Amino acid sequence: MTRRRTGDAKVDTAKGGSMWGGRFAGGLDPFFAEFQKSLTVDHVLAFADLEQNLVWSEALAGAGVFTPDELASVHAAIDDVAETWQAKGVPVQDPAEDVHSLVEREIVARCGELGKRIHTGRSRNDQVATDLRMWLRARLGGVNDAIHAVCRALVAKATTHAADPMPGYTHLQRAQPITIGHHALAHVEALFRDRERLLQATERMDECPLGSGALAGTTARVDRDAIAAKLAFASGPTRNSLDATAARDHLCEIAFVCAMTCTHLSRLAEDYVFFASQEARFLRFGDAVSTGSSLMPQKRNPDAMELVRGKAARVQGALLALLGTVKGLPMAYNRDLQTDKETLIPAIAETEACLRVAALAVQHAEFDTAHCAREAERGHLNATDLADLLVQAGVAFRDAHEIVGRAVNRAIELGVELQDLPADERRTLLPQIDVDLRQALSARTVLERRSVIGGTAPRNVAAEARRWNQLLAAFERAAATEIE
């Protein structure tokens, strides 16, 4: 069988079977039989399971279970199943209990008794643990690409608006001027940490459980190092069969990465929803990511970002569900773990969808730079800089802080900004300094002063945007090379 991708599979319909009925005389209650099925969820593992069956049958041939001719027949059967499902889809509504039962039945249907030998020395416990790692390894590439897409959109905003002022906030109160680009790159920093966490989590789970059996290891004389290599597990085989079949911390770690990523997206969404409000009017979302009201004709609602913000809660819930599932389980495998896939798989899909929608929303957000610049001059955002001017004149900062606080109160009484205080008020309130406050406290000057590493000075932001563009381009080149 040609090595195939192990990502999501299409679906279709067919018939079922059981892998464990030897000890049982009676059948399952029909309601429980349906309750305990997992095919509607784990069918996505179908191609990973076929590839695993291919490699396991090769390992069994090395252990003397199959002759070369028998192995060729088994491979032909696996190839035929794969080609059928690639053309018609995996039969998700099949009566089979799970994807492993379905795969085994279809192989047996094509090569008879030989197909029944494939499960020699193997359990569904190490089988599903291996399938899931293989599927995740392939599937998480899409999440990584989607994080990259949001970062790319935000870096583009930062490049365009490296020098454009806007108000910065703490406690949702206007605090100090920043640039639009500086704000965009703040979100890039957070999301790129999520990307690093995702890559680290993927690397940590890159061990092969196959050959661990149900819990104690297999009696089949298979080469586990060779199995791991053929299934492309870079870190080789797992080193403890109990842990290999019971461990789901890698799923919890991936769920955490998804939850943290969506939490960061929710924060970005909240910022942009506020920026698009009539009260702020810093940006406007384009038609591609906005909707209207069924009643109020004037409305332009930021639905894309609101949905991202709302869906983040579901992904956070998946993390809590997984932690709750594993917290009370004894070693090793327990059937509770069947539910891990129905929790994690939708969370991964939701995370990727939120990332892709967020990237679209950022791309279709247009900042009103003139309005942002005007607002960066309002609200006494330059008060700290006035205190710094007093410090330069020899005033202790704590005293300067108090002096400027009184100046702010007086400016509010007069309905002016600090830089617009009348000359007589300046002389009374700020006798220690004699500078042109309109120039010294302008938003542009305030921004330029913050030229330390990590500061919001326009030249810093422009340099950081260039650095991020180079970094993202390097990752894109590396990804293109891998595909080739």
What's the pLDDT at 4?
Answer: 45
pTM more than 0.75: yes
Nearest to 225 by CA among 234, 209, 236, 214: 236
For residue 28, name the pLDDT band (cuts at 50, 70, 90): confident
Sort 454 into a burial class: Cβ within 10 Å, 0-12 / 13-18 / 19+: exposed
Non-local CB neighbours of 356 within 8 Å, separated by 6+ positions: 146, 149
- Domain topology for 378-441: Ribonucleotide Reductase Protein R1; domain 1 (1.10.40)
Give a three-class secondary structure readout of the chain: CCCCCCCCCCECCCCCCCCCHHHCCCCCCHHHHHHCCCHHHHHHHHHHHHHHHHHHHHHHHHCCCCCHHHHHHHHHHHHHHHHHHHHHCECCCCCCCCHHHHHHHHHHHHHCHHHHHCCCCCCHHHHHHHHHHHHHHHHHHHHHHHHHHHHHHHHHHHHHCCCCEEEEEECCEEEEEEEHHHHHHHHHHHHHHHHHHHHHHHHHCCCECCCCCCCCCCCCCCCHHHHHHHCCCCCCECCCHHHHHHCCHHHHHHHHHHHHHHHHHHHHHHHHHHHCCCCCCCEEECHHHCECCCCCCCCCECHHHHHHHHHHHHHHHHHHHHHHHHCCCCCCCCHHHHHHHHHHHHHHHHHHHHHHHHHHHHHCEEECHHHHHHHHCCCCCCHHHHHHHHHHCCCCHHHHHHHHHHHHHHHHHHCCCHHHCCHHHHHHHCCCCCCCHHHHCCHHHHHHHCCCCCCCCHHHHHHHHHHHHHHHHHHHHHHHHHHC
Q: 343 is written with which tokens?
A: 């929790």
Mean pLDDT for 344-356 is 98
From residue 70, alpha-carbon distances to 65, 135, 235 in Å are 9, 28, 31
Non-local CB neighbours of 335 within 8 Å, separated by 6+ positions: 36
CA distance 120 to 114: 11
CB crowding 273-305: b at 16 or more within 10 Å, else e: bbbbeeebebbebeeebbeeeeeeeeeeebbbb
Point out the residues that are catalytic: 171, 293
Mean pLDDT for 44-57 is 98
What's the pLDDT at 450?
Answer: 97
From residue 121, alpha-carbon distances to 70, 216, 220, 307 in Å are 18, 11, 5, 48
- Could you say which architecture CATH assigns to the domain 21-120? Orthogonal Bundle (1.10)
Q: 39 is written with which tokens?
A: 């095919």
Contact 188, 158 (CB under 8 A): yes
**Does the structure show a pLDDT above 70 at 484?**
no
pLDDT, tens digit, 9 for 90 and up, residues 133-187: 999 999 999 999 999 999 999 999 999 999 999 999 999 999 999 999 999 999 9
Q: For residue 169, report the phi and psi dihedrals to the nearest 5 degrees.
A: -125, 145
Instruction: State the residue for tokens 């002022």.
Output: 165
Non-local CB neighbours of 138 within 8 Å, separated by 6+ positions: 5, 6, 7, 48
**Does the structure show a pLDDT above 90 at 482?**
no
What's the pLDDT at 127?
Answer: 98
Nearest to 38 by CA among 108, 116, 99, 86: 99
Q: For residue 455, report the phi and psi dihedrals to the nearest 5 degrees.
A: -80, 170
Multiple choice CATH, 125-368, 3.30.70.270, 1.20.1640.10, 3.40.190.10, 1.20.200.10: 1.20.200.10
**Does the structure show a pLDDT above 90 at 217?**
yes
**Does the structure show a pLDDT above 80 at 2?**
no
* More confidently predicted of 18 and 291: 291
**Does the structure show a pLDDT above 70 at 116?**
yes
Percent of the chain with pLDDT over 90: 89
**Does the structure show a pLDDT above 70 at 21?**
no
**Does the structure show a pLDDT above 60 at 5?**
no
CA distance 400 to 209: 65
Q: 205 is written with which tokens?
A: 């789970």
Return the minimum-mean-pLDDT range out of 10-14, 133-137, 258-262.
10-14
Domain boundaries, the chain: 21-120, 125-368, 378-441
Average pLDDT, the chain: 94
Non-local CB neighbours of 23 within 8 Å, separated by 6+ positions: none
**Does the structure show a pLDDT above 90 at 11?**
no
CA distance 309 to 362: 14
pLDDT, tens digit, 9 for 90 and up, residues 224-234: 999 999 999 99
From residue 442, alpha-carbon distances to 57, 172, 371, 407, 420 in Å are 74, 22, 15, 17, 11
pLDDT, tens digit, 9 for 90 and up, residues 394-405: 999 999 999 999
Q: How far apart are the first and last CA of the chain?
A: 21
Contact 228, 55 (CB under 8 A): no
**Does the structure show a pLDDT above 70 at 12?**
no
